[in-house]
Amino acid sequence: MCLVIDMNVIPVVFDPSSKNHDIYKPVLEWVIKGKGKMVCGGSKYWEELSRLKKFLSYFNELNKAGKVVKVDDNLVDEKMRDLMNLCADKDFDDPHIAALLIVSGCKVLCSEDERSYDYMREKKWFASSKKFPKIIKKTSSKKTAANILSERYIADCCMPCLKLKKKQAELLMP
């Protein structure tokens, strides 16, 4: 499974000392110890990630380990502009996340931005309800999260999905 991790949860996912880390620890473990990958792309996503300076070197290590999938920034930016033209709603403040999900075909979003959830299920933007991303959030039950963190939600852009060697995974665990 690959997933888009919204900036509002990156600190919670990747920092074991953060409040609520235990809720998102399965996401971290799926990326590091499992077949999961983090999907990134678009100018806005990179801009937001660059502000999380504490996590940049860790992100680079994930990238070197093959746990990051970079989607064409131009395609994501273009789709983001299209979505912004389609929806002028002031609550729609994450068009870059929706664009990244659409362009990549990624099937999972990890986010605490409740205002965005309805937009991530907008019928006009996704080919069908089967294409809507699953959302992992702090209110997701352990059973729901375990169901989502599975191979059936691996998008084509994340193939092949291989586990890291045990020693490499241990070095990447914060």
Give bridge partners of residue 134 from the DSSP assignment: 108
What is the identity of the amino acid at 146? Answer: A
Domain ranges of the chain: 2-172
pLDDT tens for each residue of 35-91: 999 999 999 999 999 999 999 999 999 999 999 999 999 999 999 999 999 888 888
Whose tokens are 């659409």? That residue is: 102
What is the C-alpha radius of gyration for the chain, rounded to an integer number of angstroms? 15
User: Against a cut of 0.85, is the pTM above it?
Assistant: yes
Would you give the DSSP letter of residue 38? Answer: E
pLDDT tens for each residue of 121-130: 887 887 654 5
On whether the 2-172 domain is CATH 3.10.450, my answer is no
Exposure letters 141-164 (e unless 16+ CB within 10 A, then b): eeeebeebbeeebbbebbeebeeb
Q: What is the mean pLDDT of the chain?
A: 90
Do you find a cis peptide bond into 95, omega within 30 degrees of 0?
no
